[in-house]
A and B are shown apart, each in its own frame.
Chain A
Amino acid sequence: MKKYLSYFISSWKSCTAYKVDYFLNFFFSLVFFFISFALWKTIYGETGIDGISNYSLTNTITYFFVTNIIFRLDVGQSMWLNNDIWSGYLTNDLVRPWNVKIVENCFAFANLFVGFIIYIPFMAIIYFAAHQYITLPVGIDGLYFVITLIIGMIFLLVYSMCLHSLCFYFGDQDANIDLSNYAIMILAGGMFPLAFLPEKFAAFVHALPFKILFDTPANIWLGKLQWSEISHSWIEAGIWIVIFYIIFTLLFKNGLKRYTGTGR
């Protein structure tokens, strides 16, 4: 355990080696929120409507505020397994006396952890700039939100590991990972609330497991989900986590046998 903790800390330090670059990244991340903020303020303001699909202006802005936070915890963007397999760098981890799967995730979580801590002041900037349109979770919803967020992270972790492990079989998966990340962002409600989607498309998206990443936690924050719906989403995500973990274990175990470490 100690060696993994050491690796976690050194990964954390390496993430912040170029400090200005790191801070600038977060500063520019504010852009998406402020575009959404201006856009929805104009739409609600010009039309004078009270809500779109039961989302008031406050609900909509809060939704984008919450998704902006969740984006900082996107494990899929911090994972380098595909790159390590494809470049042959994985050999460096394989020859060491540790579990490769844990080490690969250590780096991703170190990156997310330090990123999230550093992003807190930027969240405060957003909150103060738009506080009259942002509501905070009430009572137990805050706890449910955090639990859902953790379940969502685990789900994305095992899903991403499956995707990255395909590199053992089909070579560089960079383009597929980009496509998948982009598609998931939409299917999970990272771009806008799923309730905004046309009925048929929404039914299709709700049948997929990805809503646990953005839409479900954001709606818990907004107090739009009942306990029965929340518990159902946890169970559903739990089942998918088990399924993807089994797939990943098979892919990784057999993939290692095919790994030659020659790189490109």
Chain B
Amino acid sequence: MKKYLKIMMTVIRNAYIRDSKIPGFVMVSLLTSMLDIFITIVFFDIIFSASASIAGWSFYQVLFLYSLSKTITSFHSALTKSGTQAMAHNYVRLGELDFYLTKPIDAMFLVSVSKPKIYSFLSMFLSIGLGAYALIQLGVSYSIVNAIWFVILALFTTVLFYYLQVLTIIPAFWLLQAWSLADTINKFQNFMRYPTGIFSKALQYILTLVFPIMTVSYFPAKVLFFGANLPDISLVILVTIAFILITRYLWRLGERSYSSASS
């Protein structure tokens, strides 16, 4: 564990040195993130001008849901997203994965943190601020039990999101180039900003159990707003554990079929 933390710190330090040399790039990326938040608020405003609630969720509850999903995705964008995307783009196709497999450390971890974009933490802080604003505007006092369960489940689903992200790029071991897979999680994370109730029962089932992208943001927020209950808590915990095991198993399977690339 200590070794992993040390590597993580080194990688982050290197990323900081690199990113601080290109402040313009960082600024533009931050602007993109701010634009995304601004437009989402405008979009929600349009939706809620027509309807007081969607699927039983008010404007500020949905705004909080969005900020939670954005916080989790920004966190992974800062640490693991580019690394996993690079895996789908080049690492297998060009044989660059060799460099990660030959190190005395877990290859999945090393690949994931190979290209951190630490300026995405700025976007994460913006999202946290937005979430706090939404909670204040809701003006409701939350029970301490719900708040504690919210934090615990949010931590679980942050891990779950990471494993879903890795799971989507594992086919790259067999497909060699999988640009579409690198972008899959970006497309699916759009589901995370809405309450599950807007989708059909079949889609709800698929997106909370089969590919549980909605579980990531919906259940922690639900527990905070509508109270902690055993089915929701156990679902999040079990789904997270199940996807850790599935992803780990498939990654190992992929590693076994990896044959590097010729010159």
**A contact set with B: CB distance below 8 Å:** 18, 20-22, 24-25, 27-29, 31-32, 34-35, 38-39, 42-44, 46-47, 49, 52, 172, 174-176, 178-179, 182-183, 186, 191-192, 196-198, 201
User: Once the chains bind, are A31 and B43 in contact (CB under 8 Å)?
Assistant: no
| Chain B residues with CB under 8 A of A179 | 28, 31-32, 35
User: Once the chains bind, are B31 and A49 in contact (CB under 8 Å)?
Assistant: no
Given the interface pairs A31-B188, A196-B46, the reply to whether A38 lies near B199 with Cβ below 8 Å is yes
Interface size on B, residues (CB 8 A): 40
User: Once the chains bind, are A25 and B180 in contact (CB under 8 Å)?
Assistant: yes
9 contacts between A and B (CB under 8 A): A18-B176, A18-B179, A20-B175, A32-B187, A39-B54, A43-B47, A46-B53, A175-B25, A178-B28
| Chain B residues with CB under 8 A of A32 | 187, 190
| Chain A residues with CB under 8 A of B24 | 175
Q: In the bound complex, what is the Cα–Cα distance between A191 and B39 (angstroms)?
A: 9
Q: In the bound complex, what is the Cα–Cα distance between A179 and B31 (angstroms)?
A: 8
In the assembled complex, B42 has its CB within 8 A of some CB on chain A: yes
Q: In the bound complex, what is the Cα–Cα distance between A70 and B244 (angstroms)?
A: 38
B93 to chain A, nearest CB (A): 9
A184 to chain B, nearest CB (A): 11
Select A46's contact among B45, B51, B190, B200, beta carbons within 8 Å.
B51
Select A21's contact among B51, B177, B187, B200, beta carbons within 8 Å.
B177
| Chain B residues with CB under 8 A of A44 | 50
In the assembled complex, B208 has its CB within 8 A of some CB on chain A: no
User: Once the chains bind, are B198 and A42 in contact (CB under 8 Å)?
Assistant: yes
Given the interface pairs A39-B194, A46-B53, the reply to whether A182 lies near B35 with Cβ below 8 Å is yes
User: Once the chains bind, are A24 and B181 in contact (CB under 8 Å)?
Assistant: yes
In the assembled complex, B184 has its CB within 8 A of some CB on chain A: yes
User: Once the chains bind, are A175 and B28 in contact (CB under 8 Å)?
Assistant: yes
Select B187's contact among A31, A49, A174, A201, beta carbons within 8 Å.
A31
In the assembled complex, B224 has its CB within 8 A of some CB on chain A: no
| Chain A residues with CB under 8 A of B53 | 46
User: Once the chains bind, are B28 and A42 in contact (CB under 8 Å)?
Assistant: no
User: Once the chains bind, are A28 and B180 in contact (CB under 8 Å)?
Assistant: yes
Given the interface pairs A24-B181, A38-B203, the reply to whether A197 lies near B28 with Cβ below 8 Å is no
Given the interface pairs A42-B55, A42-B198, the reply to whether A24 lies near B50 with Cβ below 8 Å is no
In the assembled complex, B183 has its CB within 8 A of some CB on chain A: yes
Given the interface pairs A52-B50, A182-B36, A186-B39, the reply to whether A35 lies near B179 with Cβ below 8 Å is no
Report, nearest first, the 9 A-B pairs whose CB atoms are least far apart.
Answer: A25-B180, A175-B28, A24-B180, A42-B198, A47-B51, A18-B177, A31-B187, A196-B46, A179-B32
In the assembled complex, B191 has its CB within 8 A of some CB on chain A: yes
In the assembled complex, B247 has its CB within 8 A of some CB on chain A: no
Select A43's contact among B45, B50, B178, beta carbons within 8 Å.
B50
| Chain A residues with CB under 8 A of B184 | 24, 28
In the assembled complex, B90 has its CB within 8 A of some CB on chain A: no
| Chain A residues with CB under 8 A of B190 | 31-32, 35
Q: In the bound complex, what is the Cα–Cα distance between A46 and B180 (angstroms)?
A: 35
In the assembled complex, B260 has its CB within 8 A of some CB on chain A: no
User: Once the chains bind, are A21 and B179 in contact (CB under 8 Å)?
Assistant: yes
A47 to chain B, nearest CB (A): 4
Beta-carbon contacts under 8 Å, B42-69 to A: 42-43, 45-47, 49-55
User: Once the chains bind, are B35 and A183 in contact (CB under 8 Å)?
Assistant: yes
Q: Which residue of B lies closest to A173 (CB)?
A: B28
Given the interface pairs A21-B175, A21-B181, A24-B180, the reply to whether A39 lies near B50 with Cβ below 8 Å is no
Q: In the bound complex, what is the Cα–Cα distance between A47 and B52 (angstroms)?
A: 8
Q: Which residue of B lies closest to A39 (CB)?
A: B198
| Chain A residues with CB under 8 A of B29 | 175, 178
User: Once the chains bind, are A46 and B32 in contact (CB under 8 Å)?
Assistant: no
Most chain B beta carbons < 10 A, residue from A27, A38, A197 = A38
| Chain A residues with CB under 8 A of B47 | 39, 43
| Chain B residues with CB under 8 A of A178 | 28-29, 32
| Chain B residues with CB under 8 A of A46 | 51, 53-55
If A18-B176, A39-B198, A182-B36 are given as contacts, then 10 extra A-B residue pairs at C-beta distance below 8 Å, sorted by A number, are A21-B181, A28-B188, A42-B54, A43-B47, A46-B51, A46-B53, A49-B51, A178-B29, A182-B32, A191-B43
B92 to chain A, nearest CB (A): 12
